[in-house]
């Protein structure tokens, strides 16, 4: 089994404990499905929640790895609970607070409260987040319990750095240090332990841009539920694999095959000034084209003792994520005053496929000010689904409706589930 | 409309919590508290018997709940508790304490460990005060061997213990050494920030490595190896080898220069110099150190009467190398010739020992046991860490028991359906050998 080859003693335990299959995932969302209307909204919610966590994490000056850990905590928590039966915003705060401690870079609880209140209220219209330390501390307590005390989280970044190095001799450290100041060890405690990552330390040489792309792809995977489905090392390898497709000499030949690139150009009403020959690009990728790596990447990847079928599946999932993400309009903040800061967030987002044209699309007035999707009948037909976009404001309202409905149903069990959906539909229509 | 959020939120989270509370097994429903073992700044440790069929003995560490006035409240789990929980969930080794489960109940955290009847400090006290005789070489060597074996495991998992000392090293009644108290331990794999940022002071003063005493910002596994050297010397001589006075943090929590502790070290090992430790000149406290009186190396002399073995002296010499870069690693220490010459170490450290050589059972007290309520910390003659990080590892004789822990052990079910290993009964039934039957079950079971 592939994991045997890769596993450290730590990874090994963990991947068995928290990697689930799709039916388990579906089961975990069963209650939410009753209230969400279109199941696709659940996919959008995956992006939405990851963005909220990321936004809060950055405000708290947490490193990327801490944010990733918080996101994994969040996903795992919702394997056991429903969005409609909890307060995801309180859970998000607790995940960030706990992840900071678990990653040995703690932040004060008061600080978490303050920033949570500010971000949730300004960007998501969620007022009345508790101002009381004890509420967050209480949530942390239950969170630790639901996480079964598994607080050490492994991320694909580690595999990426174990497998790849930058092409020139200055090494990967400096590159990543730039993106993630201090992420890699700060010269502390040089590792003299045994290596579990295989290939006797042989590393794949990547150009700086390619390595960065892989890093950013990994960042992006946290907007999906991949971290619940596959162990981190497989996700890392899929990210490397995608890097070869989406970045570098092979890029242009393979790009047209990508479904996301098509949907992207279709849905972009304003042809941006950006070079559109590349399907997506990193906002930082302005340096000259990369030299071809000395090694043959295909045989390197093939030499890894992992199932290439898994890798292909994961890569496909990541591509689907990008195509979904393309229809997610981050900019529509209910609070006008926050738009400048959200713009910043946007620019700094580390997506290799982040397309600035997306922003132009939103500012071109596709969104109504209430933040509801363009499609009028959000719960109805699935006709032009690919055109439908989704906004944070809409999802925030959706979450609240789901919860209200759930509470009503819990209070009056006789009302039955289908009624709940109809009621919600009425409300939406009345509101719209 | 969004203003409804908080009402809905309160309701919904109340429902969530009551669901969780109902599903949770309480400490009292799973364990019979036999008595109180020890306490410290972190909280209290109790001896308890599982109410399941096996009736195994455990040590339950209850973290001190946070209080506002008399009301227990949530204020956030301490960094120390998070560490101990997180690391213990990941590790599994015969020479490291085994966590059975964590129970979060009623605003308190209970960590349930397997029980250990003895610890290194007990053994030292028993020999120095009762027997008035050194620890026999086979016992001494077995204890050290197992300690290093456990440390190799921790280090291979990228874990620094950072508070190794006799009180934190436990021994089961079957003579198996268990490294305990990971309250100050931490993962050092790709740390996000230098280690010193989290905790200004690590390792109890007598066991603190010279690079820490000289204010090093970066340190590594070598600090644990220094502590092992101190523990070996203490087992051999029955008193701490470098028994210095700790200079306390000032009111601004600045870490003072540990003059006395350094002098205690220099008196035995001689004053360090650039030849043996080139990077010493970069140490923040290098100039303060230069002003101290100079001493010459007397370790060999020290060992002659206490270790009485040339290879034993060599092991100690290499663990006490000033330069962390050249200091013996745990892995290399285990390969040292001392462990290959007679008497060989044994997996039951007490194998060669007569009954009188084994220290008496851990004392427990009854008074406050049933309530499990906190009382003021007791005094402990051994020093402990009350450092800037606010984390303390007092000399709690913290209990662990012999167990051959099954693979993924732990009674936590996995959502992945992999089956939460039920706490399987591979453990030897009454893990405590002698006499325990007489003292357990003071109340009904």
pLDDT in tens, A289-308: 444 445 677 777 777 777 88
Integer distance in angstroms from the first to the last C-alpha of chain B? 56
Say whether A140 and B74 touch across the interface (CB within 8 A): yes
For chain B, how many helices (H) and strands (E)? 14, 12
Say whether B8 and A404 touch across the interface (CB within 8 A): yes
- Interface probe for B, chosen from A20, A66, A72, A87 (most Cβ of B below 10 Å), is A87
Element (H, E) at B173: none
| A427 part of contact set with chain B, CB < 8 Å | no
Say whether B74 and A104 touch across the interface (CB within 8 A): no
pLDDT score at A248? 58
pLDDT score at A203? 77
* Per-residue DSSP letter, A367: S
Residue % of chain B over a pLDDT of 90: 61
Section A355-378 average pLDDT: 36
Average pLDDT, chain A: 71
Give chain A positions within 8 Å (CB) of B415.
Answer: 17-18, 20, 24, 76, 79-80
Distance from CA of B426 to the nearest CA of A (A): 19
Instruction: Write out A298-340 in H/E/C secondary structure.
Output: HHHHHHCCCCHHHHHHHHHHHHHHHHHHCCECCCCCCCHHHHH
Q: Which two tokens stand for residue A105?
A: 């870079």
Closest to A106 (Cβ–Cβ): which among B9, B75, B79?
Answer: B79
Give chain A positions within 8 Å (CB) of B107.
Answer: 141
| Confidence label for B5 from pLDDT (cuts 50, 70 and 90) | low
HSE value, Cβ hemisphere, 13 Å, CA-based, for B369? 21
Q: Is B52 a catalytic residue?
A: no
| Cα dihedral sign, B313-B153-B64-B209 | positive
| A104 part of contact set with chain B, CB < 8 Å | yes
Q: What residues 60-89 of chain A have any CB closer than 8 A to a CB of chain B? A: 63, 65-66, 76, 79-81, 85-87, 89
Closest to A144 (Cβ–Cβ): which among B16, B104, B418?
Answer: B104
User: Widest CA span of chain B, in angstroms?
Assistant: 82
pLDDT score at B386? 45
**Nearest chain B residue to A8, by CA:** B157
pLDDT score at A359? 34
Residue B187 φ then ψ, to 5°:
-75, 140
Q: Is the pLDDT of residue B389 over 80?
A: no
Residue % of chain A over a pLDDT of 70: 59
Section B128-139 average pLDDT: 94
User: pLDDT of A192-230, one tens digit each?
Assistant: 333 344 455 577 887 788 888 999 999 999 999 999 999
Say whether A16 and B416 touch across the interface (CB within 8 A): yes
Return d(Cα B164, Cα B152) in angstroms, integer. 13
Give chain A positions within 8 Å (CB) of B11.
Answer: 407
Return d(Cα A108, Cα B66) in angstroms, integer. 16
Distance from CA of A395 to the nearest CA of B (A): 12
- Interface probe for A, chosen from B68, B192, B328, B420 (most Cβ of A below 10 Å), is B192
Give chain B positions within 8 Å (CB) of A127.
Answer: 2-3, 5-6
User: pLDDT of B391-415, one tens digit each?
Assistant: 333 333 333 333 333 333 332 222 2
Integer distance in angstroms from the first to the last C-alpha of chain A? 53
Q: Which residue has the tokens 């790849």?
A: A164
* Closest to A220 (Cα-Cα) out of A377, A54, A347: A54
Return d(Cα B400, Cα A80) in angstroms, integer. 32
pLDDT score at A89? 96
pLDDT score at A205? 80
Say whether B107 and A407 touch across the interface (CB within 8 A): no
pLDDT score at A10? 39
**Nearest chain B residue to A185, by CA:** B190
- Interface probe for B, chosen from A149, A194, A398, A410 (most Cβ of B below 10 Å), is A149
pTM of the prediction? 0.77
Environment class of A146 (CB within 10 Å of its CB; exposed 0-12, middle 13-18, buried 19+): buried
Section A169-173 average pLDDT: 46
Say whether B85 and A148 touch across the interface (CB within 8 A): no
User: pLDDT of B265-299, one tens digit each?
Assistant: 999 999 999 999 999 999 999 999 999 999 999 99
Number of CB pairs < 8 Å for A and B?
192
| Confidence label for A168 from pLDDT (cuts 50, 70 and 90) | low
Q: Who contacts A249 (Cβ-Cβ below 8 Å, separation ≥6)? A: A289, A290, A292
User: pLDDT of A43-71, one tens digit each?
Assistant: 999 999 999 999 999 999 999 999 999 99
pLDDT score at A246? 77
Active-site position among B114, B119, B163, B181: B163
Distance from CA of B414 to the nearest CA of A (A): 5
Cα–Cα distances (Å) from A396 to A71, A334, A391, B5, B357, in that order, read: 18, 10, 9, 10, 69
pLDDT score at A137? 94
| Cα dihedral sign, A342-A348-A354-A356 | positive
Q: Is the pLDDT of residue B79 over 60?
A: yes
């Amino acid at each position: 089994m592939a994991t045997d080859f890769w596993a450290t003693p730590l990874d090994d335990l963990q991947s068995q404990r928290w990697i689930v299959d799709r039916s388990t995932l579906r089961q975990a969302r069963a209650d939410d499905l009753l209230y969400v209307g279109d199941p696709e909204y659940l996919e959008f919610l995956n992006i939405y929640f990851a963005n909220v966590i990321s936004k809060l994490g950055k405000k708290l000056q947490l490193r990327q790895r801490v944010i990733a850990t918080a996101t994994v905590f969040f996903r795992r928590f919702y394997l056991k609970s429903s969005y409609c039966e909890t307060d995801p915003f309180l859970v998000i705060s607790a995940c960030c607070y706990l992840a900071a401690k678990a990653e040995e870079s703690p932040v004060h609880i008061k600080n978490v409260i303050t920033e949570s209140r500010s971000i949730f209220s300004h960007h998501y219209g969620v007022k009345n987040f508790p101002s009381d330390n004890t509420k967050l501390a209480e949530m942390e307590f239950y969170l630790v319990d639901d996480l079964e005390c598994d607080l050490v989280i492994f991320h694909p970044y580690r595999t990426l750095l174990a497998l790849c190095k930058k092409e020139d001799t200055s090494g990967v450290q400096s590159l990543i240090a730039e993106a993630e100041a201090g992420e890699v060890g700060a010269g502390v405690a040089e590792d003299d332990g045994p290596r579990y990552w295989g290939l006797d330390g042989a590393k794949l040489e990547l150009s700086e841009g390619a390595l960065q792309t892989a890093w950013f792809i990994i960042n992006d995977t946290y907007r999906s539920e991949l971290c619940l489905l596959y162990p981190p090392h497989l996700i890392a390898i899929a990210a490397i694999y995608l890097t070869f497709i989406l970045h570098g000499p092979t890029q242009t030949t393979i790009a047209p095959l990508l479904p996301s690139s098509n949907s992207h150009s279709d849905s972009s009403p304003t042809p941006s000034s950006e070079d559109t020959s590349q399907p997506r690009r990193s906002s930082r990728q302005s340096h000259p084209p990369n030299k071809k790596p000395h090694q043959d990447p295909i045989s390197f990847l093939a030499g890894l003792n992992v199932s290439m079928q898994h890798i292909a599946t994961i890569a496909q999932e990541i591509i689907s994520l990008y195509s979904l993400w393309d229809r997610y309009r981050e900019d529509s903040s209910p609070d006008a005053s926050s738009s400048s800061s959200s713009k910043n967030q946007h620019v700094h987002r580390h997506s290799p496929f982040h397309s600035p044209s997306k922003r132009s699309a939103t500012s071109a007035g596709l969104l109504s000010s209430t933040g509801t999707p363009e499609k009028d009948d959000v719960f109805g037909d699935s006709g032009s689904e690919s055109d439908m976009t989704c906004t944070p404001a809409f999802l925030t309202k959706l979450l609240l409706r789901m919860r209200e409905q759930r509470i009503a149903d819990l209070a009056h069990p006789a009302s039955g589930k289908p009624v709940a959906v109809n009621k919600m539909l009425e409300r939406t229509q009345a509101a719209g | 409309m969004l203003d409804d959020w908080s009402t809905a939120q309160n309701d919904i989270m109340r429902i969530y919590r009551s669901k969780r509370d109902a599903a949770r097994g309480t400490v009292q429903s799973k364990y019979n508290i036999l008595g109180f073992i020890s306490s410290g700044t972190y909280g209290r440790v109790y001896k308890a018997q599982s109410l399941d069929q096996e009736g195994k003995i455990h040590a339950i560490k209850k973290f001190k709940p946070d209080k506002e006035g008399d009301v227990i409240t949530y204020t956030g789990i301490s960094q120390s508790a998070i560490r101990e929980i997180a690391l213990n969930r990941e590790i599994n080794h015969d020479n490291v304490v085994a966590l059975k489960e964590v129970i979060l109940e009623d605003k308190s955290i209970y960590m349930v460990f397997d029980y250990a009847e003895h610890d290194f400090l007990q053994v030292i006290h028993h020999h120095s005060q009762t027997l008035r005789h050194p620890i026999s070489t086979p016992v001494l060597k077995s204890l050290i061997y197992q300690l290093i074996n456990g440390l190799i495991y921790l280090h291979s998992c990228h874990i620094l213990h950072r508070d190794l000392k006799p009180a934190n090293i436990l021994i089961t009644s079957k003579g198996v050494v268990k490294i305990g108290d990971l309250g100050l331990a931490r993962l050092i794999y790709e740390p996000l920030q230098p280690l010193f940022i989290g905790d200004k002071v690590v390792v109890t003063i007598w066991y603190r490595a010279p690079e820490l005493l000289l204010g090093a910002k970066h340190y590594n596994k070598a600090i644990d190896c220094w502590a092992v050297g101190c523990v070996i010397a203490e087992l051999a001589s029955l008193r701490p080898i470098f028994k210095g006075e700790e200079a306390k943090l000032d009111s601004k929590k600045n870490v003072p220069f540990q003059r006395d502790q350094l002098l205690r070290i220099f008196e035995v090992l001689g004053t360090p110099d650039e030849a043996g430790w080139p990077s010493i000149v970069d140490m923040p406290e290098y100039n303060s150190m230069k002003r101290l009186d100079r001493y010459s190396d007397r370790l060999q002399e020290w060992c002659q009467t206490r270790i009485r073995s040339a290879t034993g002296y060599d092991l100690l010499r290499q663990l006490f190398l000033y330069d962390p870069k050249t200091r013996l690693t745990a892995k290399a220490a285990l390969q040292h010739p001392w462990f290959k010459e007679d008497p060989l170490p044994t997996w039951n450290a007490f194998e060669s020992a007569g009954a009188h050589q084994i220290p008496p059972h851990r004392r427990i007290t009854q008074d406050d046991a049933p309530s499990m309520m906190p009382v003021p910390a007791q005094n402990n003659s051994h020093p402990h860490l009350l450092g800037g990080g606010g984390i303390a590892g007092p000399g709690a004789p913290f209990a662990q028991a012999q167990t051959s822990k099954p693979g993924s052990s732990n009674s936590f079910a996995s959502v992945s359906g992999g089956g939460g290993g039920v706490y399987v009964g591979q453990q030897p039934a009454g893990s405590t050998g002698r006499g325990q039957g007489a003292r357990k079950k003071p109340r009904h079971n």
